[in-house]
A and B are shown apart, each in its own frame.
Chain A
């Protein structure tokens, strides 16, 4: 019995890692730029469709499509940022919400027009399929891959933030934008790069998510709620917070569904509510 619980928790951890990849970009851009980008999952969807197109139409291997998904989502996000988002940096939250949610609907319709409304299948390479037996546990190979991949990405992100000059500039801009500008830091270019990075990560997350949650045009809207929960609970602008929140939500979702299937999926909302009441700015967020 214990082994089955551990197996379930392991899957919850993998699911949490997926949520982390999808959400970390939004947390940083929301914390740093104060720009409400509800179209964040659109970039996830773009990454997903890039992977599917490259694999099915051009026959690329799965792993090779991942960097392309990242880059494509990042590039498209830069285009959006330059043409649309930048005009609304000083606007009210409502205006930003309206623009970005409109963008979400447009992207869903475009995806449906170009790819049709069917579920996009992705056939993983054989070495990523099946499961392994570790101890008495049955662990899915793809989930192990997901966890390792996400941890590597997290490590890279944290290292970039802590040990590079650019990372220091980003941290400064998040902490106190005015002061950072005053010190001559090019906050605008830090914004642009961070935004691209965050959206690229979402694209990567979207590509990785296909095997677990499927891909269809409604992806951009369907996962927005989960991503927003992770960002809100984790605290804006904090990678550690997003990581903790994603873990918490992934595991409590799984555990809830295993032990209390009747209220299973309500548990994450309960967790979210209690956490936010205890810490309104998120676990590692700070009050601005």
Chain B
């Protein structure tokens, strides 16, 4: 009898809580990502992007007040991310979920989004297949396939003929390898060797030496953010690889800000392809970087802009639906939305709900005594090629 009474009491409490959530005209957004652990820094940057957008645009959209509920998934933990996404929707009354810095977490949460028919904004996780797992999800970051296949094609166009690939041995690394290889080979290039280094690898000397010994005219590297890019940059310099003869190319993380600071001059001449760098020369980006520095005392990076543009998408979608938080309405509003981001022009593809943006080719140069990624070429309106090739 007592059990039934307790259950009824809980049920009543839950109803009241849910009712009150709607009654106040608040839109709750559950942000699930890593605020602690190995990936805490990207999480912090995405969060800063969210905070900055809300500060600049106020926290009221279409007459509703926005409330961010933060949940820490602590790193690669798909079961935790799924549970937190569920909890934030069911218990806290969130009608939009966002964040998702890591692929396994994003994939697990996609199930929740599909089942609960909740609008989901993937602000970072870059594996192509993610957006196909829920019809209510849009992405505002990039995909590994888009950036790296563009780089592969660009490499051939710019005189590289024989490439050795070196990637991290997990999902995004394999994607990078496959994408670059495809883009490069389709243009006519030859992959003369490849290796995959363990995800937690500390010392890259052996791998870099092996790459050098195969005598390529280009080395393609895929590495995630963290301590590894600096280690690779230093290993390349220490092993005496001449960057004027061998083009070292990779995805943006190879030369992200902290890595360049650690690498020092060893990083000069590294070529990377990416969708965002704080050094991007546009008025909007300059303003963004200045505001970001004022609030957070550091430069924004790809994570920050993913969070910033994710919030922009949420705001604009809510304005279009007039505050209606129904998943169907929001995703319909998001499809085809185009805007000028600090990174440049971007659009949410109406078919795949994925991001369509410009891929910049940059080289590390010393500008005013500082090492920066200087853009010298670009490929516009890049769509995710992996999804484009899937049978419809």
Say whether A123 contacts B264, CB under 8 Å.
yes
Q: How far is B205's CA from A165's CA once the two chains are assembled, in angstroms?
A: 43
Question: Pick the contact of A265 from B198, B230, B262, B298 — CB < 8 Å?
Answer: B198
With A131-B240, A138-B239, A264-B197 known as contacts, the answer to whether A119 contacts B230 (CB < 8 A) is: yes
With A112-B36, A264-B198 known as contacts, the answer to whether A4 contacts B212 (CB < 8 A) is: yes
Q: Which residues of B contact A254 (CB under 8 A)?
A: 203, 205-206
Q: How far is B246's CA from A168's CA once the two chains are assembled, in angstroms?
A: 57
Q: Determine whether A186 belongs to the interface, using a CB cutoff of 8 Å to chain B.
A: no
Q: How far is B205's CA from A266's CA once the two chains are assembled, in angstroms?
A: 17
How many whole Å from B271's CB to the nearest CB in chain A? Answer: 22
Say whether A138 contacts B238, CB under 8 Å.
yes
Say whether B206 contacts A15, CB under 8 Å.
no
Q: Determine whether A214 belongs to the interface, using a CB cutoff of 8 Å to chain B.
A: yes
Say whether B40 contacts A15, CB under 8 Å.
no
Q: Which residues of B contact A122 (CB under 8 A)?
A: 262
With A112-B40, A121-B258, A122-B262 known as contacts, the answer to whether A8 contacts B205 (CB < 8 A) is: yes
Q: Determine whether B195 belongs to the interface, using a CB cutoff of 8 Å to chain A.
A: yes
Which residues of A from 114 to 130 have beta carbons under 8 Å from B? 116-119, 121-123, 129-130
Q: How far is B261's CA from A258's CA once the two chains are assembled, in angstroms?
A: 28
Q: Determine whether A167 belongs to the interface, using a CB cutoff of 8 Å to chain B.
A: no
Say whether B197 contacts A261, CB under 8 Å.
yes
Question: Pick the contact of A4 from B36, B38, B209 — CB < 8 Å?
Answer: B209
With A116-B41, A117-B40, A218-B38 known as contacts, the answer to whether A261 contacts B264 (CB < 8 A) is: no
Q: How far is B237's CA from A214's CA once the two chains are assembled, in angstroms?
A: 17
Q: Determine whether B202 belongs to the interface, using a CB cutoff of 8 Å to chain A.
A: yes
Among A109, A143, A211, A261, the most chain B Cβ lie within 10 Å of the Cβ of A261
Q: How far is B197's CA from A264's CA once the two chains are assembled, in angstroms?
A: 8
Say whether B197 contacts A212, CB under 8 Å.
no
Q: Determine whether A84 belongs to the interface, using a CB cutoff of 8 Å to chain B.
A: no
Q: Which residues of B contact A130 (CB under 8 A)?
A: 237
Say whether A265 contacts B207, CB under 8 Å.
no
Q: Which residues of A contact B237 (CB under 8 A)?
A: 130-131
Which residues of B from 228 to 284 have beta carbons under 8 Å from A? 230-231, 234, 237-240, 258-259, 261-262, 264
Say whether A213 contacts B227, CB under 8 Å.
yes
Question: Pick the contact of A212 from B40, B198, B203, B213 — CB < 8 Å?
Answer: B203
> Which A-chain residue is minimally distant from B261 (CB atoms)?
A121
Q: How far is B211's CA from A258's CA once the two chains are assembled, in angstroms?
A: 10
Q: Determine whether B200 belongs to the interface, using a CB cutoff of 8 Å to chain A.
A: yes
Mask, A209-235, CB within 8 Å of B = 1, is: 001111111100010000000000000
Say whether B197 contacts A257, CB under 8 Å.
yes
| Chain B count of residues within 8 A CB distance of the other chain | 36
Q: Determine whether A140 belongs to the interface, using a CB cutoff of 8 Å to chain B.
A: yes
Q: How far is B235's CA from A131's CA once the two chains are assembled, in angstroms?
A: 11
With A8-B209, A214-B262 known as contacts, the answer to whether A265 contacts B201 (CB < 8 A) is: yes
Q: Determine whether A57 belongs to the interface, using a CB cutoff of 8 Å to chain B.
A: no
Q: Determine whether B196 belongs to the interface, using a CB cutoff of 8 Å to chain A.
A: yes
| Chain A count of residues within 8 A CB distance of the other chain | 42
Q: How far is B156's CA from A282's CA once the two chains are assembled, in angstroms?
A: 53
How many whole Å from B17's CB to the nearest CB in chain A? Answer: 31
Among B197, B202, B231, the most chain A Cβ lie within 10 Å of the Cβ of B202
Q: How far is B195's CA from A265's CA once the two chains are assembled, in angstroms?
A: 13
Q: Determine whether A7 belongs to the interface, using a CB cutoff of 8 Å to chain B.
A: yes
Say whether B209 contacts A218, CB under 8 Å.
no
Q: Determine whether B135 belongs to the interface, using a CB cutoff of 8 Å to chain A.
A: no
Question: Pick the contact of B258 from A119, A140, A213, A217 — CB < 8 Å?
Answer: A119
Q: Determine whether A134 belongs to the interface, using a CB cutoff of 8 Å to chain B.
A: no
Q: Determine whether B18 belongs to the interface, using a CB cutoff of 8 Å to chain A.
A: no
Q: Which residues of B contact A211 (CB under 8 A)?
A: 234
Say whether A117 contacts B44, CB under 8 Å.
yes
With A4-B213, A112-B40, A119-B230 known as contacts, the answer to whether A261 contacts B203 (CB < 8 A) is: no
Q: Determine whether A262 belongs to the interface, using a CB cutoff of 8 Å to chain B.
A: yes
Say whether A264 contacts B227, CB under 8 Å.
no
How many whole Å from A216's CB to the nearest CB in chain B? Answer: 7
CB<8 Å pairs between A and B, sample of 25: A4-B213, A8-B205, A11-B205, A11-B206, A112-B36, A118-B41, A118-B258, A119-B259, A119-B262, A121-B258, A123-B261, A123-B264, A129-B264, A138-B238, A138-B239, A212-B203, A213-B202, A213-B227, A214-B226, A214-B227, A254-B205, A261-B196, A262-B195, A264-B198, A265-B200
List 20 other contacts, CB 8 Å, given A118-B41, A262-B196, A265-B198.
A7-B205, A8-B209, A11-B203, A12-B205, A119-B258, A121-B230, A121-B258, A131-B238, A138-B240, A140-B238, A211-B234, A213-B203, A213-B227, A215-B227, A216-B227, A261-B196, A261-B197, A262-B195, A264-B198, A264-B201
10 nearest A-B pairs in the assembled complex, by CB-CB distance:
A214-B227, A257-B206, A117-B41, A265-B198, A258-B206, A121-B261, A11-B205, A261-B195, A117-B40, A140-B238
Interface residues of chain B, those whose CB is within 8 Å of chain A, are: 36-38, 40-41, 44, 195-198, 200-203, 205-207, 209-210, 212-213, 226-227, 230-231, 234, 237-240, 258-259, 261-262, 264, 298
Interface residues of chain A, those whose CB is within 8 Å of chain B, are: 1, 4, 7-8, 11-12, 15, 109, 112, 116-119, 121-123, 129-131, 138, 140, 143, 211-218, 222, 253-258, 261-262, 264-266
